[in-house]
Amino acid sequence: MDVWEKQRKMIIRIMNIDNNDNDNDDQQQQQQEIDYITTKIPTIILLDIINRIEDNVDLISCLLTCKKLYEKIRLQYSHSIRFKGLQYIGKRKDYTSSDDDHSLDYFTPLVYKMGRCMPSFRGILQNTLSNQLVIAKKSPELLNAVSDISKRLNNFYVIDGVLHDDESTNGQSSQQSMSFNFDNQQQYNNQVSKVLLVSRYDPLDYITLPSSTRQLIIEQSNGDLSTFKNLESFIPSTVEHLEIDCECLDLSSTSNQVIPNTIKSLVIHLDDSIDQIGDYENEICLPSGLESLTLRFGRTIPFNQLPFNHLLSLTTLEFTSKTVTTGVLPTSLTSLKINLENPPPTDFFKPLPNLVTLHVQIFFIRRDSFIMDLESLQYLESLKFSTSQKVDINLPVSESLICLSLPFNSTKISHLPKSLEICDISYERLMALVQTTPLPTSLHKLQIQNCPHGVPVGVIPNSVKVLSFASISTALIVEGSIPSSVEKLGLGRYNGPTSPSFLPDSIKHLTWRRGIARTESLPKNLETLTWKPLMILSFGAPDKLDDIINHTKVQELNLTLSSSSQVWVQLAIQRLDNDNSNVMMVDNQSIFGGFFKQKRMEDGKYGPLYLVYHKDGKESTYFSYEIPTTKINKE
């Protein structure tokens, strides 16, 4: 009950309620506090307090504090309470060329855990997700876990509609006579702001989207948008952010795929070659008021065909190209991320004086080195440059640069800015620079790549709080080289000593890919440990939680699948009794979880409790007291 009492006292403190007169009788004080919440604090103030709670598990604990919060507030005002950070629709997943199914690219892990969310809080979860609408064309790719969500929540639809040739029984394409008008349904009025349309082949243009839509994602992973009757008229005029993911797209002004001029932010993913983005004899047509443009094509964009001269409001641009030409990009750009096959002209960035963020990656290696002149970029704050080719970079003279990333040894810079706060740099380049200039005392985050030797004592300044050795192996930390200012440390595969002279006690957060669990010691002030042992990736069993519950004091457990860097489960563990017999476990990302009573075995010890999940999403994540008989698909 400690966590509930903590939440109760938090509310009392926020309201500045003084109950010190009852200190002699703690039980009476607790009852009076509950009565005060129940009878004295107006509901509107309680709702305001509740909506200020950032952690979802803390919010659940708060609502479990007393009957008024659990029964009245939870039930009657679930439409006014939202969990934080929960969404169906996330950023597009990265995948390899060998992947053959991208129909679920935009779904967050929440989708696969929704079927097991705490039933008592489903109303609040529904309200949390009421600003998002998912409409998916029924297909084998929409797995059972996804289809199951559409039965539970009103704003997640798996529908029938246009049948592709491959799906029809007689070999002929057909279409069901239907229309879905989501704009006329009261439950969506002025609520839905983000919509995801998912169809493997056929368009969903027989749907009328809510007029409140601000963000729209169209994922037609195995087809093009030429089957849309008219893309411009289909998209509501309220949409400002549009993301399109398909095999090919005709962006010429004569096509039926013209992007509406109301779009301010545009992201286009194409999986095929540059020959699949329209007729180059006609200029590519883009909304003139674009402020942000991201082009992620299978190969490269036709740089000279893009109407940059008309995009006078463009501030953010990301694209891939074989070559670039000086003077083509709009001078209004403040953020530029480019992937190039060939080095840019030396003066390419000179006409872009307003750049604040610049990320450059060059794919192919040429024998000749080249120069990149950035001296004119007086407002530049973030520079990330990635290439194995030899390059000399002339940095701006102004002290504006805050973030610098140079992970390859081949990159040379003119000087080390004194304004740096974040630096990602190769060991070889770092050692060359500190021979003449020490690292600035403004630096608080440092990542060192490819360490063949230990960093000498005194190189890392005392201002650094976050330190990471990205590619370290064996015993390559010099004793005393890590300053006592470091609070967060990443060690890669380091297998050396762990005494305080190597790993100071100031470290609170440690990330480690060590293959051996045995250590001499760990920093005594350690609060979080992210351990990534190599062998755990091959385990064929689900995660066993009872050892963590009963033999550690861990209160938050994050599990990451090896196929993704994304945290799959973020479990908050609340032990409700001194003997751990009753436990509340809830995933902060989905409200998946509940209350668990540990079962004692004949020897008096608690039996196992497993967390079962599947990397391919074919079955929902769930808890179990027994190992499932079916094969666990976890890699």
What is the number of H-type helices and E-type strands within the chain? 12, 34
pLDDT digits (tens, 9 = 90+) for 40-68: 778 888 888 888 999 999 899 888 877 77
Look at residues 51, 53, 58 and name the one whose alpha carbon lies nearest to residue 574.
58
For residue 442, what pLDDT is reported?
96
For the chain, percent helix, then strand, then coil, each to nearest 5? 20, 25, 55
Most confident of 108-117, 151-160, 196-205, 326-335: 326-335
The region, left, alpha or beta by phi > 0 then psi within -120 to 50, assigned to residue 486 is beta
Verify that 66 and 20 share a domain, yes or no. yes
DSSP SS3 for 336: strand
Verify that 548 and 526 share a domain, yes or no. no
Q: Given 533, 559, 578, which residue is the final one in a domain?
A: 533
Look at residues 395, 394, 392, 369 and name the one whose alpha carbon lies nearest to residue 381.
395
Euclidean distance between CA atoms 83 and 307, whole angstroms? 42
Is the pLDDT at 168 greater than 50? The verdict is no
Q: Do the beta carbons of residue 509 and residue 531 sit within 8 Å?
A: no
Q: Do the beta carbons of residue 288 and residue 311 sit within 8 Å?
A: yes
Q: Do the beta carbons of residue 19 and residue 33 sit within 8 Å?
A: yes
Verify that 432 and 528 share a domain, yes or no. yes
Residues forming a β-bridge with 357: 335, 382
Verify that 500 and 427 share a domain, yes or no. yes
Euclidean distance between CA atoms 542 and 568, whole angstroms? 14
Say which residue the tokens 């497993």 belong to.
610
Give the number of domains in the chain: 3
Verify that 444 and 524 share a domain, yes or no. yes
Written as one string, the DSSP assignment of 221-233 is EEEEGGGSS-HHH
Look at residues 178, 174, 180 and name the one whose alpha carbon lies nearest to residue 202.
174
Verify that 518 and 563 share a domain, yes or no. no
Tokens read off for 548: 């963590």
Q: Which helix (H) or strand (E) holds 207?
A: strand 207-208
Residues forming a β-bridge with 268: 244, 295
pLDDT digits (tens, 9 = 90+) for 554-593: 888 887 765 555 677 888 999 988 899 999 999 988 898 8
Question: Does residue 171 lie within any of the structural domains?
Answer: no
What domain range is 429 assigned to?
420-533
For residue 584, what pLDDT is reported?
92
Is the pLDDT at 312 greater than 80? The verdict is yes
Verify that 565 and 481 share a domain, yes or no. no
Q: Do the beta carbons of residue 77 and residue 119 sit within 8 Å?
A: no
The DSSP letter of residue 299 is S
Residue 498: how many CB atoms within 10 A of its CB? 19
Question: Does residue 356 lie within any of the structural domains?
Answer: no
Q: Do the beta carbons of residue 262 and residue 229 sit within 8 Å?
A: no
For residue 115, what pLDDT is reported?
67
Please enumerate in sequence order all residues whose Cβ is within 8 A of that of 42, keeping only pairs 6 or more positions apart, or say none.
Answer: none
Q: What secondary structure, in 3-state letters, does 572-589 show?
A: EEEECCCCCCEEEEEECC
Euclidean distance between CA atoms 555 and 381, whole angstroms? 38
Verify that 546 and 610 share a domain, yes or no. yes
Angle subtended by helix axes 43-51 and 2-14, to nearest 10: 110
**What's the mean pLDDT when you consider all of the chain?**
78
Verify that 500 and 561 share a domain, yes or no. no
Question: Does residue 37 lie within any of the structural domains?
Answer: yes
Question: Does residue 551 lie within any of the structural domains?
Answer: yes
- pTM, two decimals, is 0.81
Q: Given 510, 533, 556, which residue is the final one in a domain?
A: 533
Question: Does residue 550 lie within any of the structural domains?
Answer: yes
Question: Does residue 20 lie within any of the structural domains?
Answer: yes
Verify that 526 and 575 share a domain, yes or no. no
How do strand 509-512 and strand 528-531 relate by DSSP bridges? parallel
Euclidean distance between CA atoms 317 and 265, whole angstroms? 10
Please state which of the ranges 160-169, 235-244, 411-420 shows the lowest mean pLDDT: 160-169
Look at residues 313, 392, 394 and name the one whose alpha carbon lies nearest to residue 354.
313
Q: Where are the beta strands (DSSP E) in 257-401?
A: 265-270, 292-296, 316-321, 335-340, 357-362, 370-373, 382-386, 391-394
pLDDT digits (tens, 9 = 90+) for 593-624: 889 999 888 888 899 898 877 655 445 677 88
Verify that 503 and 430 share a domain, yes or no. yes
Residues forming a β-bridge with 171: none
**Phi, psi for residue 427 in degrees, rounded to 5:** -60, -45
The DSSP letter of residue 438 is P
Tokens read off for 407: 């992970």
Euclidean distance between CA atoms 265 and 297, whole angstroms? 17
Verify that 427 and 520 share a domain, yes or no. yes
For residue 96, what pLDDT is reported?
39
Q: Do the beta carbons of residue 196 and residue 88 sit within 8 Å?
A: yes
The DSSP letter of residue 569 is E
Is the pLDDT at 403 greater than 60? The verdict is yes
DSSP SS3 for 45: helix
% of the chain beyond a pLDDT of 70? 72
Q: Given 533, 555, 573, which residue is the final one in a domain?
A: 533
Tokens read off for 255: 């096509």
